[in-house]
Structure 1
Amino acid sequence: MKQFRKTAIALGLAQMAMMAGGAAMAQTEKAPAKPDALPEPVAVVVTGQRAALQSAQKIKQNSDEIVDSIVAEDMGKLPDRSVTEVLQRVVGVTIDRTMAKGDPEHFSVEGSSVSIRGLSYVRSELNGRDSFSANGGRSLNFEDVPPELVAGVDIYKNPSAEQVEGAVGGLVNLRTAMPFDYKGFKSSISADTTWSELKRGKTSPSASGLISNRWATPVGEIGALLDLAYSESGTRTDAFQVEPYYPLKDASGKTVYVPKGAQWRTLEFNRKREGAYGALQWKKDDWSSSLTYFKSKYEMQWDEQAIFAQSSPYNIKVSPDATFNSKGALLTGTLTDPADGGINFGDDTRTSFRKSDTADLSWNLRWRHDNWTVSTDLQHIKATTRSVDSTVATGVTMPKETLDLTGNVPRILFTDADRAYLADPKNYYWAFTMEHLDRSKATETAWRTDAKYDFDHPVLRDFRFGVRLTDRDAVTENSNPSYNWAAITQPWQVGWDIPHVASLGDPRFGGNTNLHTFNNFFNGGVSVPAVVFPNVSLAQGFPGSYAQLHTYHDILCKEINPATSCPAWQQATFGADNFAGTNDQSEKTKAVYGQLRFGWDNLKYPIDGNLGLRYVKTDSTARGYTVFSSTAPTGGNQVGVAIPIIRPFAEAKDYENNYHNVLPSLNLRLKATDTLQFRFAAASAISRPDFTQLQGYTTLSETADTSTNPVTGVTTVNSVSLTGSGDGNPNLRPTTSKQVDLTMEWYFAPTGSFTAALFNKRLKDIVVKNVYTKQLADTSGKLHDFTVTGPINGARGHARGVELAFQQYFDTLPGAFSGLGVQANFTFVDSERKLYKPVYSQYCTGGDNAANLNLNLNGCDTNGTTFGNLPLENLSRQSYNLALLYDKGPVSARLAYNWRSKSLQGVNVNGTKGSDATDSNPASPTYGQTNVAWALPTWSDDYGQLDASFFYKFTDKIQLGLEAQNLTDSTYKQLMQQNIGMMGRAWFKTGRRVVAKLSYDF
């Protein structure tokens, strides 16, 4: 054992020396319960699960603000594999389980973004300082952070003046350990392996280690700490999907609603996460200092095989024996498409890779003498990310598809002949490719100095004031085109572009495919046919594999006309002239604050609190581009409406956006008894727009509706349209909130409490898609108004509700039962969002429907109707956690259930939007055909998951643990809102995960 300890110490010191030699160590001293506060840090001594709960409870009880905390030992006992999953256990906090907000078709097993009290305006911090990922947003992707590096998490729900602005929903502060947190030498290692039910036979390893010590030297006390973490995760998600329901006529002429098909897919997800954290501390007399470095690396790759319906919905026919519900929606029946010779499906193999890095280097210096404490802090953070998303697809025309949509999960019924048809490569053709690339880099340098003066006064406690300056740059580049869909061969090309599709049965085009059998699909609960997919190597082989596949089109194109110059495939690239895909932002902030702490201890019911004011000025620059084009006729003999003469141009332009905010705050606490207290908090808060919403690229266009007399040659201009669009708006202001909280906190035991909170947040300047005016001058200098579609500060709203939380160990029970405990919390949130200019909210039909869908916050159904007002996105009206605890002797265990009600994911999101106004080829028989465009609201349905953990301490140093996620094998369901009701859109199955963990403390 001694030799083992010496080896571990030597290894840890060697790693620490390597980091120091690379100038990589830095970070502040351990943040207290309140980020950036000036009093001495809270020393959290953790000796077991009960002590961990007690420490978290004490932080909440003694904090100046409304805060919930989780400390390291408590986090280690939770059955969670990421910081995101840990956060969902806190009252008022919910997590999103999709990989991206705009792509709800892909499930995230470990969760992704976080909402607090139903709002996604969440500020993330590391030890009270800025922390973010390079994704065009302002917050940290918590799933990127190894939880092994985190000593605790504090969630603040109402800001005070000394806290950094930007937390309308709430503030999540991740705390790391510091050398002075321990009395002397401290070292520990742990290792675990994860087994995922759907990935049978495969396990994912993880390991972490910490070493820390402190020494007394002639120049003062010195401490050093190193923490390293590595983890892998491999999961699989199976999914069913049903397409939107379209209004069709049945055989009797009655309007019924029928999806154009249903489909299935499977996704293999693999994640690798690495973390390194080092800290140095020093103190002598009145001085102390710290230097820390935090590095998080995240690599992810998923491979997907998906089949999806891509035929025209209005060509679908349903069998005479079909059944429908009372609103006319299909329940059972067989779908066919005689007009197209069968139902056309795409069968894609997709691979997506992302690598993200975040590095934080920070230094803090503190001086404390008599009544004064002064602290200065310097931080530099750098975050990068890059991604390649690649899809290669075959296609197949199914003769028919029989659906049964009456059960909890849709059933697609196949005969033996159907299965044999889908298993035969000769029935497939090469369909399309699609690639997307992006890369981002964000940096920030922040400096702040704070001072505190302690009063010797019966009422006044201290006065705090300070200044903070930041300088941040963020550049995100998306490839051009962003998602570069390119046909290899498609049925709609046959006859005018190619003689036939590139069939896999043709020796010239065969090979590079595989028959995917979907083994153990939906955990063995459902059987689906095998499908012929492109090999994964083709998706991963971009761009070389793409170039080869597109030669198939060239071969067939030449068969129509050997002299034809067939258009060459153009790959997506970044390029110096990719103005539409580049978002270049810089932002500087200057903030000052003052905060007075006070208290009346001699009252019958003592009162204390703080009153503060924060002023912040924001100066931002968006380096963008404006492009103007015109199709209006110029010159000639014209009458009617005058056409402004504006010369086409494309020019770079920097957009300056400067604003300031005054943010008052008040926090009061009344102590009714030593164990019962009440809080009142009122504050103003802001949340700045994400950098993705501030992009400065705008396209402006001029069109004219004209008619020409063939005899006189006179052109009559009936109307002129001046319009524009932009994915961003560099003139956006922050969303603001006026918020009030009232809480009751009863701490009836060291680990027993009951708390209740009422809150109300009134929001202004919510960012929504709508229209705003932009002006251009014509050649005479006259200004003309262009109606531009894009994000604006165009709505107001509210989020208000109640939180209840309870925890207790039943120490009075006899014997082993005294180890039992329970934790429970419940959150209810009511929300509303109203447009300032609601005129566009009902826009669904008429004009260019597809172009105007973005104007409709409430969505458009497939029959051209819209829906009523929708709530704020990602907000569940109800959510709760229930955990059964056990902690007695060497045994520590939890059984934890987490549930949230349905929540709106989005309106104009991937998978449930589209338009049939797509045929612009004059040679096509359906040239000029136009149908209603649609964009359906999608919702995540109610979802609950049961997790568990069990730990056994063999000695004070050795502990063995088992963790299990999703014990109930829950199915995650997605809904799509239509006028016929909330229809099932997708069903996701991930199976169970089990983790075996061994840890050793030196």
Structure 2
Amino acid sequence: MKHLKKTAIALGLAQMTMMLSGAAVAQTTDAPKTDTPAAEPVAVVVTGQRAALQSAQKIKQNSDEIVDSIVAEDMGKLPDRSVTEVLQRVVGVTIDRTMSKGDPEHFSVEGSGVNIRGLSYVRSELNGRDSFSANGGRSLNFEDVPPELVAGVDIYKNPSAEQIEGAVGGLVNLRTAMPFDYKGFKSAISADRTYSELKKGKTSPSYSGLVSNRWKTPIGEVGALLDLAYSESATRTDAFQVEPYYPLTDANGNRVFVPKGAQWRTLEFNRKREGAYGALQWKNADWSSGLTYFKSKYEMQWDEQAIFAQSSPYNIVVSKDATFNSKGALLTGTLTDPTDGGINFGDDTRTANRKSDTTDISWNLRWRVNDRWTFTTDLQHIKAKTQSFDSTVATGVTLPSETLDLTGNVPKILFSDANRAYLADPNNYYWAFTMEHMDKSKADETAWKTDGKYDFDDPVLRDFRFGVRLTKRDAVTQNSNPSYNWAAITQPWQVGSWGIPHVAYLGDPRFAGNTSLHSFDNFFNGGVSVPSVVFPNVSLAQGYPSTYSALHKYYEILCAENGNTCAPWTPATFGTDPAGTNDQSEKTKAMYGQLRFGWDDLKYPIDGNIGLRYVKTDSSAHGYTVFTSTLPTTGNTTGVTLPVFTPFSQSKDYDNSYHNVLPSLNLRLKYSDTLQFRFALASAMSRPDFTQLQGYTTLSASADTSTNAAGLTTVNSVSLTGVGTGNPMLRPITSKQVDLTAEWYFAPSGSITAAVFNKRLKDIIINQVYNYQLADTSGKLHDFTVTGPVNGAKGHARGIELAYQQYFDKLPGAWSGLGLQANFTFVDSKRELYNPVYTKYCTGGNTAANVNLNLNGCDTDGTTFGNLPLEGLSRQTYNLALLYDKGPISARLAYNWRSKALQAVNVNGTQGTDGLDSNPASATYGQHVVAWALPTWSDSYGQLDASMFYKFTDKLQLGLEAQNLTDATYKQLMQQNIGMMGRAWFKTGRRVVAKLSYDF
């Protein structure tokens, strides 16, 4: 029924086009310049892949700034399944393949975050205006945007003064069509079906439709456009994971490094994306105006079955026949855990849902006063919101042993028939835990700007542009409290001391049911066989909170069996706890002036622009501060004098204000009509994300004490520390950047371009320490050492970009349709701390806060690593595409590759607390670090995609697209001192899309 409804919408749109077509004038392949406030001309209406490349090349060649563009082959038909995937084709642009930076355990088939020239400080725009998602950041989640609504994408590498500030890495501007882009009537509909290889027997539909027309009226010319899009995606990801390697002693007394286990999981992902875009335009002799409405809605749901090792790593024993590499890392062997009676595994069913939408309403008015003066004013209101629910229910099982072979490209877990049978038996499982998380965010912004332009009648001066811009943005994010509410149902460590006689085994009739045996069919596309595992039913995870409450009753039943009364389960709530609320507001005021000039009579003509942008930012954070103290009372102590504090919990507002002066220079030298060179200098800035500006701080005072011979407490030292969830006083990251390019346009769709760039970064935001002053009861100020985000580093990102594209028109016959497109990017980066701390060792009673403080991470043996590069940066990236465009056939075979890149330090799955043995008499005293955090890397990855379209007529086209033709495996690494160890391997299979489109 749902699919029929979407089809009816598309057919209704087609019928509307028939009604409007009577007033249409003949359509041509050229479109006039739009009246939208975008900095560059909008896309030319083109047909065919070759014409699209030609149009994009023309934008790059004629631009005032350094820019790369992608133009839709036909309106609303970008060449990939998401805007994120489209962007990865551009030289200097890379995308992330995980769902979020803090959770690299979950793969994103369509990609997620975007980096430009190795930097994540990317500004996103829609038609030259602000665009963002309500996720605590400042940019748009490009995967949320229906690509069917986008006519083209421009990526600016070096800003000019008239462009809105905020793009250190670069600026991504999504362009939509306007009615006056067409000479008259335009309409098209399309539908497709996507088949995902691992989702056997299931396809996902997509539909889109566009209609546009323009009319002559007594008050001027009027145009109207409507564009609707709907798409679904259903994919599956299979994954292997290996736990971090811990220092152990093998059977021969040698120091070796052994993971506490390996595991596997599968994730079913379903995404629905809806978009609606409408535009009205009007113009007469001197005035023109445009009104646009853009709405994108995104909903995703994923369900996961995962098994993961949760034994104590230091209780693992490795078999005598185990083999190791030269650094002592395990290659093959059998793991057991005699202390715990076997290797304890958790077997969870997890479901996550997120709904997001962004609405943009914008109005633009342009007045051409005379041949010299032009004024435009622009008003925009954007509103974004998102909410999510994440729920996990787990059983547990104690596996007698696990045999690993880590020598191949993908790890092998070898199971005996006995172990397979053991895992398939529900009687061996118990109810383990639940965990829920909720968050919701909303953000809105109103922006107004007015620009003026004066055109000179001068052989050198072209025009002078100036303007002002005012914005006001409010953003509120709420997380449930606790944020991730992990709660044991029954765990082995609860038996006895926690008042229960045993865990809640599924074999007990009181606790049976609501589980099923998951068989992992066609795992890793049939390349690997893993055992079936008993998991909770998905309905338990989706039935929160009533299902959670029922499961936690099992613990109460067992407590009563032992004659005890145990506390009931408490669900997570949004409540009133300020720790879960991030409330921000921000106002900006900007003004700029920019002069365009040129010397056309020189032997080698030069043109360009020089400008200055000034922006003032005023931000407010509505926060909270909590202070607790465990200091002894002063009357019974000797030694260090104790300060006296009164514990408190109170709201606190923070106001931050800063201004930035951003000069820019862009020069172009035309050596000939086809060869030109560019030189650009600029200052840029990127404001902190709202997640980094949260004003919640916890402070604590404690003392290291001992008892003297008289029985009095001696204070040896006083510790004043704290943790800042964010830092409302952060400044923006700034950059001084220079670019030099050479561009040779030897054919309408043929070019060779090269760029050299250097971005010198300042005030990079990192987690370190800063001082927070608090007065004691006497009024004396004390410095608390608070761990949190600070502007604590500088660095650089420098490199080269090379790009080439050409159709080989001189080849005979059908071969003349062949073309080639290739680009390569090399980026070198460095990050240098202003105040290095904890850079060598992590041992010696360190805490989780100290591990967070060490940006380079801490290994499981208590040592740290060398300096790390900027996150998300691949040193090398390239794209290679074989093209064909001849007659009715248009095809593309495209390969994208990037080298390994640092994802993050201290993220989910590669951090932990082992528990320091604090007994000095113990033989293991001081051997275990309290906390550790490993850097995770994405390994080098390449993916081959293809598409082919056949035009039966000028109006009817059939196409096939395929993603990941080689069924590539995405690999994740964890950095340890024994080397780059394999952490996870992801398999998603191939996707094939059949697409049919019709132009009226």
The TM-score normalised by the length of structure 1 is 0.96
**1:31, 1:128 within 8 Å by CA — same for their partners in 2?**
no
CA 1:4/1:491 → structure 2, altered by over 3 Å: closer, same or farther?
A: closer
Distance 2:881 2:982 in 1: 30
Corresponding position of 1:579: 578
Distance 2:533 2:110 in 1: 29
AA partner of residue 255 (structure 1): R
* Alignment pair present for 1:479 and 2:480: yes
CA 1:258/1:594 → structure 2, altered by over 3 Å: closer, same or farther?
A: same
1:807 is aligned, of 796, 805, 808, to 805
The range that moved more, 146-155 or 911-920, is: 911-920
**1:303, 1:351 within 8 Å by CA — same for their partners in 2?**
yes
* Alignment pair present for 1:855 and 2:853: yes
What SS is found at the alignment partner of 2:168? coil
**1:79, 1:963 within 8 Å by CA — same for their partners in 2?**
no
Distance 2:902 2:711 in 1: 55
Corresponding position of 1:139: 139
AA partner of residue 558 (structure 1): A
* Alignment pair present for 1:531 and 2:527: no
Cα offsets for 1:101-140 (capped at 9, x unmatched): 0000000000000000000000000000000000000000
* Alignment pair present for 1:63 and 2:60: no
1:556 is aligned, of 549, 555, 558, to 558
1:760 is aligned, of 735, 758, 761, to 758
Corresponding position of 1:340: 340
Cα distance, 1:766 vs structure 2: 0.3
Matches within 5 A, 1:579-978: 579-709=578-708, 712-917=710-915, 931-978=929-976
AA partner of residue 830 (structure 1): D
Cα offsets for 1:924-979 (capped at 9, x unmatched): xx999964421111000000000000000000000000000000000000000111
Distance 2:583 2:19 in 1: 41
Matches within 5 A, 1:35-434: 36-37=38-39, 41-42=41-42, 44-73=44-73, 79-368=79-368, 369-434=370-435
CA 1:366/1:76 → structure 2, altered by over 3 Å: closer, same or farther?
A: closer
Cα distance, 1:636 vs structure 2: 2.8
The range that moved more, 491-500 or 450-459, is: 491-500
Cα distance, 1:47 vs structure 2: 2.3
Cα distance, 1:843 vs structure 2: 4.6
Cα distance, 1:635 vs structure 2: 4.2
**1:79, 1:947 within 8 Å by CA — same for their partners in 2?**
no
**2:606, 2:670 within 8 Å by CA — same for their partners in 1?**
yes
**1:53, 1:74 within 8 Å by CA — same for their partners in 2?**
no
The range that moved more, 714-723 or 96-105, is: 714-723
What SS is found at the alignment partner of 2:247? strand
Corresponding position of 1:516: 518
**1:740, 1:760 within 8 Å by CA — same for their partners in 2?**
yes
Cα distance, 1:559 vs structure 2: 2.3
**2:78, 2:147 within 8 Å by CA — same for their partners in 1?**
no
Corresponding position of 1:443: 444
What SS is found at the alignment partner of 2:804? strand
* Alignment pair present for 1:999 and 2:997: yes
Cα distance, 1:77 vs structure 2: 6.8
**2:697, 2:722 within 8 Å by CA — same for their partners in 1?**
yes
What SS is found at the alignment partner of 2:85? helix
CA 1:5/1:269 → structure 2, altered by over 3 Å: closer, same or farther?
A: closer
Cα distance, 1:637 vs structure 2: 2.6
Distance 1:117 1:960 in 2: 36
Distance 1:435 1:505 in 2: 26
Distance 2:159 2:32 in 1: 20
Cα distance, 1:851 vs structure 2: 2.7
Cα distance, 1:640 vs structure 2: 1.4
Distance 1:249 1:8 in 2: 71
Corresponding position of 2:984: 986
Distance 2:559 2:32 in 1: 67
What SS is found at the alignment partner of 2:719? strand
AA partner of residue 463 (structure 1): F
Distance 2:906 2:559 in 1: 36
* Alignment pair present for 1:490 and 2:491: yes
Distance 2:247 2:814 in 1: 63
What SS is found at the alignment partner of 1:816? helix
CA 1:247/1:755 → structure 2, altered by over 3 Å: closer, same or farther?
A: same
What SS is found at the alignment partner of 1:435? strand
1:500 is aligned, of 483, 490, 502, to 502
Cα distance, 1:839 vs structure 2: 2.4
**2:671, 2:677 within 8 Å by CA — same for their partners in 1?**
yes
Cα offsets for 1:411-453 (capped at 9, x unmatched): 0001111110000000000000000000000000000000000
Cα distance, 1:841 vs structure 2: 2.9
**2:72, 2:79 within 8 Å by CA — same for their partners in 1?**
no
What SS is found at the alignment partner of 1:137? coil
Q: How many residues align?
A: 978
Cα distance, 1:642 vs structure 2: 1.4
Corresponding position of 2:549: 547
Cα distance, 1:73 vs structure 2: 1.2
AA partner of residue 735 (structure 1): I
Cα offsets for 1:594-641 (capped at 9, x unmatched): 000000000000000000000000000000000111010124332211
Gaps of 5+ in 2: 1-7, 21-30
Cα offsets for 1:459-501 (capped at 9, x unmatched): 0000000000000000001100001100000011111121111
**2:293, 2:359 within 8 Å by CA — same for their partners in 1?**
yes
Distance 1:148 1:992 in 2: 22
Q: C-alpha root-mean-square deviation of aligned residues, in Å?
A: 2.1
Distance 1:615 1:7 in 2: 49
Q: Percent identity?
A: 82
Distance 1:928 1:201 in 2: 56
AA partner of residue 371 (structure 2): D
Cα offsets for 1:200-221 (capped at 9, x unmatched): 0000000000000000000110
AA partner of residue 534 (structure 2): V
CA 1:920/1:727 → structure 2, altered by over 3 Å: closer, same or farther?
A: farther
Cα distance, 1:769 vs structure 2: 0.5
Corresponding position of 1:19: none
Gaps of 5+ in 1: 16-28
Distance 2:622 2:841 in 1: 32
Distance 2:75 2:189 in 1: 16
The range that moved more, 882-891 or 364-373, is: 364-373
AA partner of residue 178 (structure 2): M
Cα distance, 1:716 vs structure 2: 1.6
Cα distance, 1:840 vs structure 2: 2.8
Cα distance, 1:42 vs structure 2: 4.7
Distance 1:868 1:808 in 2: 43
